[in-house]
Structure 1
Amino acid sequence: MSSPQSDTILSGQRVTGLQIRIVYRDGDGEIHFDWPIEQIPLALEDEKGTLWVEIDDQTQNTDRRVEELLDGVFHFHPLAIEDAVQDTHVAKVDDWGEYLYIVFHNIDFDPDTDLIRLHELDIFLGANYLVTYHNEPLKILDQLRRNIERDPTNRLKHGAGHLLYHILDMSVAEYLPAIEHLDEAIDSAQDEVFHRPTPSTLQAIFQVKRSALRLHRILAPEREVLNRLARDEYSPVNPEHRIYFRDVYDHVVRVHDITESLRDLISGALDTYLSAISNRTNDIMKAFTLVTVMFLPLSFLTSFFGMNFFGGTLEFEGWLPKRALFVGSCMIMLFMPGFLYLFAKRRGWF
């Protein structure tokens, strides 16, 4: 069994950041986990066998020897090879006659930040072989390889098309935990909106919205890919395997519908947040306005009389003494705010 190292010997040369793992089930049912690269043509001649070549290319620039493997050994079309080594970010299926070229996506979800990262997986499906190419580690492929190692007798016996079904099914299954977490995040954000919304609440809503939109953008073309695999006639796909792709297609449709409802929940949470902030702003402005109105008569009173009660002696000047004016002004200043407060409360202004 090949060891998962970052350096792999390819055609007698050591390549850093490139790993090629080959699993081959021959026509007699025996599985080889360390099938040599030089004997890939021998495995391709075995019509009853199943060959899985996994290319993990984490080099900054795609090594030309990968292209030589895809072109010189498998004889893939240069346009298909170019699409594989360069990220297209669009799920699709191209029919090249003897083989199919498929682009699919896996997700890497961080529950702490609600961030979704996409990982492109390029797949070549032939009559008796499957080639997967990716430039980032994919957990589903490691898991699938462990499943084959645990049950080597029953694995790969249904051919390369059935192996493709497992890869696509495991990819779609990764969407459900992410969507469930996003749904819980929206519920939590809605609770914060009703209790005490903060700017961090708005940031959380927008983060969930970005993740949901990213999921929605990739699910629509992936649904079309699975629909074509389930209904169209392709020579590398066994007609008996179409029902499996139809099952994955149903899963994608259900996930796509859930994301649609999730988008509605996000829009509702955002509208609720904006309404809550607007109502809170109105309450604050109402309180400030009430305070201003409460002190407006006081400002008028003090500005009108000048409040010069103790500038001279407390003798009679006119028909009222300064002491009486001072006491009366204080009584008005104490009574007026309370009166306006009770008046506003009785009218239900706050």
Structure 2
Amino acid sequence: MLYGIIAAAAFLLTALLAVLLRTPALRLGVLDRRRQRNVPLSGGVAVVAVTGSVVAVKDWESAGSGIGGLLAAGGVVALLGLADDVWRLRRRVLAAGTGVAAACVVPYAEAGVGAGLLGVVWVVGVTFGFRGLDHSDGLAGAVGAVTAFGVAACAAVDLMDGIAALMSVLAAALTGFLLHNWHPARVALGSCGSMSAGFVIAVGAVHVRAGFGVGESAGVLFALTAVVCADVVLVLLSRRLGGRAVLRSGPDHLAHRLRRLGLTVPGVTLLLATGAVSGVLVGVLAHADRVGGDALWWVAGVALVAVFALFRVPVYADRRTVSSQVRALLRVRNG
């Protein structure tokens, strides 16, 4: 009952705070310029501030070990993301900072050093995966809320009350943010919100699966974050095979390709959110031993089919075509 009240408060407070911070973000020029219009990045600060305030509501250390450290590390990642929103940091700096933060909170005692280090790499990948989803209205918030709720359900199965409550509050805060991020978005998460949400979700999932087998845990973690992982794989694959720098931004994410196929922005969000729900449902059932490992393989198979199908959608402009267009424009200007 208490957790439900706290989650409802997080929903309302985030919805209110995101609007209140919108005007200051506009005046300070903290905007997302990747969209066709400038969108203030006030949603991320609202989600982080409201989720962090949970510490004042309950003694987290008594509810579950490591929760205070997880929130502190998530706050560091949020500050790093905020700096990126304002000053556009290099992605290597973001990756290094996220990796250090993850290394400080991964449960080595339960998982082992080797599995813990693999967890650090996975946390960094998921964190950047959520950052990559924030380019489309409603997508990062919807997928994040679904995934956080799934991790909360897994934690509840193992009676990890602290992580379960924290993920529930984060899911509620992201849902409140969605009220203003649905197309056409009036606010966005930015690196501050997307990276911190992805980081907290990923580390929480690692804590939940600590002590289980590495192979099975990898399957459950993939299922919980199937859309994020599929997006990362698709982007890395297309950029490597396309001869582009891996860290270079481009219109090559899942949402970009689905838009090229004719889907609307809300349609893309609903489709990928449905995919996230399906993966999360399988992941939670597998964690609770209600389904076998075959179900996890089905999730991986469907994700791979989607990746290879969407990989065939052209998203990069042909360099020769662009060069010829530039030359033609120069000839027109010169006379």
TM class, shorter-length: 0.3 to 0.5
The TM-score with structure 1 as length reference comes to: 0.32
Kindly name which structure, 1 or 2, has the bigger radius of gyration based on alpha carbons.
1
Query: Which structure carries more helix by proportion?
Result: 2
TM-score by length of 2: 0.33
